[in-house]
Structure 1
């Protein structure tokens, strides 16, 4: 892959070539959120797809818990005390600590958001039976 190549276009081209060789006409689609999770409904080509036919990245469920860990090296801001005494002169405190944290996600999709859907075909390798909803998409030029 060249540095300036669009990796998403290459991924879609790969998907298209694999689908074409298998006789599948299903391709990635853009959908619009009609109803956000937990009662998710996505409109695809004007047809509503309900949560019974959707696989969802759990990140988009409100209340999804993520675990983080790391190491923080920093310092507090300088602060001066009172009375002009040396022990109250302007000073800071070093921070050099490991940390672990649990983060509970509260963001989700909203009505009108555009999402990427990947069709999941059935046993016949042709019929789309479900969709994987991967992410929310935005265009930088504000179109769509």
Structure 2
């Protein structure tokens, strides 16, 4: 049987056109948390079949800058633990010698307070902290994946949810 040349040309055009088109997203489903296993349609993916966004991985750590301002009000029992870092006010001696020049003293002590405290006033908190992510992906979660390299490798982009 002779092949239809028009069908052959169309198939060649589809094949060549597919090379220039970026891969589309697909849905995967978490079938196991530890070790993480994902299924795309009926294809099971093991850990070496995908790359995953770092923030989806248990134990992922990220530095965080925190700044907060407001008014605090406390009427009752309080418990505070931390480090007190401060210094004395500048003071000076009187003889003109370097050892009597204006100076202060650093205060670095561990502070603990337990008791009754009433206070109201403005506050400003600022600092850097590290946040560690707890396990996030659960069995049954839906994931957005992008297939790469002829669907031999997938990139797990994010967890997706339905609003309905």
The answer to which structure, 1 or 2, has the higher relative contact order (CA under 8 A, 6+ apart) is 2
For residues 63-93 of structure 1, give each alpha carbon's deviation from its aligned partner in whole angstroms, at most 9, with x where no partner exists. Answer: 111111032112221538xxxxxxxxx6413
Root-mean-square deviation (CA, aligned residues, Å) is 2.8
Aligned to 1:92, what secondary structure does the other structure show? strand
Residue in 1 aligned with 2:160? 137
Residue 105 (1) aligns with residue 133 (2): yes
For residues 23-76 of structure 1, give each alpha carbon's deviation from its aligned partner in whole angstroms, at most 9, with x where no partner exists. Answer: 568421101101125x21111011101111110011111111111103211222
One of 59, 66, 75 as aligned partner of 2:62: 66
The structure with the largest alpha-carbon Rg is: 2
The answer (yes or no) to whether the contact 1:33–1:111 under 8 Å persists in 2 is yes
How many residue pairs match? The answer is 111
Q: How far, CA to CA, are the matches of 1:97 and 1:107 in structure 2?
A: 29
TM-aligned CA distance change 1:96 to 1:46, over 3 Å: same
What TM-score comes out, normalization by structure 1 length? Answer: 0.66
Aligned-pair CA distance for 1:96: 1.2
Residue 94 (1) aligns with residue 90 (2): no
Higher strand share: 2
Runs of 4+ in 1 over 4 A off after TM superposition: 23-26
Q: How far, CA to CA, are the matches of 1:34 and 1:66 in structure 2?
A: 27
Unpaired stretches in structure 2, ≥5 consecutive residues: 1-15, 77-117
Q: How far, CA to CA, are the matches of 2:136 and 2:74 in structure 1?
A: 39
What TM-score comes out, normalization by structure 2 length? Answer: 0.59
Unpaired stretches in structure 1, ≥5 consecutive residues: 1-18, 81-89, 122-126
